[in-house]
Amino acid sequence: MTSTDPTLDLVRAHTADAVLGSIFFFVGATACFVAAFRHRRASRTLLWFGVFIGLYGARMLAILAETLHLYPHSAWPMHVEVLGNYVLVVPSLLFWAERTRAWIQKLFLLLSAVGLAIAVAGLITYIVWGKPYAFIGYSFLLAVGTMLLVGPLPAFPGLFHKYFQVQSLVLRIVMPAIALLVLVINVLLFFGHPPSRYIEPVAFAVWVFAIGCEAAKNTFDNERRLVSIEGELETARQIQSSLLPATIPHVHGLRIAASYQPMSAVAGDYYQFVPVDHHHLGVLVADVTGHGVPAALIASMIKVAMQSAVAVASQPDLVMRQLNQILTPELSGRLTSAAYLWLDTELHTARYSAAGHPALLHWKAARHQVEHIESNGLLLGIASDRDYPDRQLAFNPGDRFLLYTDGLIEPENAQGKTFGEDALDTVLKLRRSLAAAELSSALLTALRNWQPPKAVQLDDITLIAIDVVEEPLRLTPTGRHLKAQEVS
């Protein structure tokens, strides 16, 4: 007769527990890591799945350590077991809160709060008075009650699909089976017939597989949707980019630089040049309220509307009026600010009109000062029958005009103070010797330095700098004036 080692027999008897506990813990930890790395709201399903599975696995390993006396002088296995007993129900309920809607979702959030309160009370009782099971019955009733409530619902497809966002067929099949098993186990316990100790871990493994399928399907579906959305946004960005001027127009006596920094893939800012001939140019800058695709769609509508205003390009007030008449019925409450500047380099005059837009800045070289040109009517989109003021200006070589959107002046520093027009004035004065393109870079650099180091861009930024320069005309042998653009 062969004698056996009782300790070895005990270890063999619990091999399955060790394997399953390790698998559960590893799967849970991996799911938590992936969810944390992804950092998206849609990853919460995966996060709560990971916490639930990982905690259950840790609890199994802690119970095994106690059974085998692996750490006879340490209380940590008991601590982990008690923690698991009380807290395990909370991530389970939060998982279901992510997969439900309407009042059912609110119910799960309420139950998770109740579960957390029970866990806190139980753990305090354990830590202070050394009673590990004082509140465990309440936690047990909460878990069983929730399972019995949720489990049978797939048998009622209309109700289930109305309130549950469960996509996995596996989970819809397993839910009633697990609910029935929970009921059977508790009936047996009530009559003093505890089931086999393998039933719980095996049933839990099946349940883990089912909710794991749901979490994985939800994660992959979200990834596919995200990839699709990113592809559509890239297409929208390319389309919007094609709507903006591809080149800077060449106008006698002007040097122009345009800077355009959208906050996201697509933007609500828009600018357009209306070159009429070598001596006349219209410049439009617009800013649609809001961001993203809706604002970008309206910005594209401005380009279409501007085509009808080209005939009156030399009259800014009429340009604003026509834009307002065309856009107001289409804007659906999304207001738009806009500014239009007309430049005549033959007469050295300019005309300006705006609709609720930040002031045009005019650097006057002769006086070494910046003039703020206000010529505002109502924002586009409020009322289609409004008139707009028209401001006439004179300019000379060495002057400079600056058109921009509020994304350039509204960013705040660490003290909450906005960059503002005063900062623009300062940069214009200090950097007056820079060319238009270099000035634009200097302004954007000053804006970045104004903000905290890790500040994110909160609005689209558009900046048009226009320098007035001296370009002498040459005479041909026939006496015709030759424009600068014609000089090779």
> Quick one: 347 exposed, middle or buried, by C-beta within 10 A (0-12, 13-18, 19+)?
exposed
CA distance 420 to 283: 23
3-state secondary structure (DSSP) of residue 7? helix
3-state secondary structure (DSSP) of residue 71? coil
Q: Tell the CATH topology of 6-233.
A: Rhopdopsin 7-helix transmembrane proteins (1.20.1070)
pLDDT of residue 307: 87
pLDDT of residue 10: 61
3-state secondary structure (DSSP) of residue 231? helix
* CATH code that applies to domain 248-486: 3.60.40.10
Write phi, then psi, for 164 (nearest 5 degrees): -115, 135
Question: Which DSSP state fits 49?
Answer: H
pLDDT of residue 482: 40
Supply the pTM of this predicted model.
0.60
**Low-confidence stretches of the chain (pLDDT beneath 50):** 1, 474-488
pLDDT of residue 236: 66
pLDDT of residue 90: 94
pLDDT of residue 479: 41
pLDDT of residue 54: 92
- What kind and span of H or E run contains 352? strand 349-355
Query: Domain limits of the chain?
Result: 6-233, 248-486
pLDDT of residue 481: 40
pLDDT of residue 98: 87
pLDDT of residue 303: 85
Contacts of 348 (CB under 8 A, 6+ apart): 394, 395, 396, 468
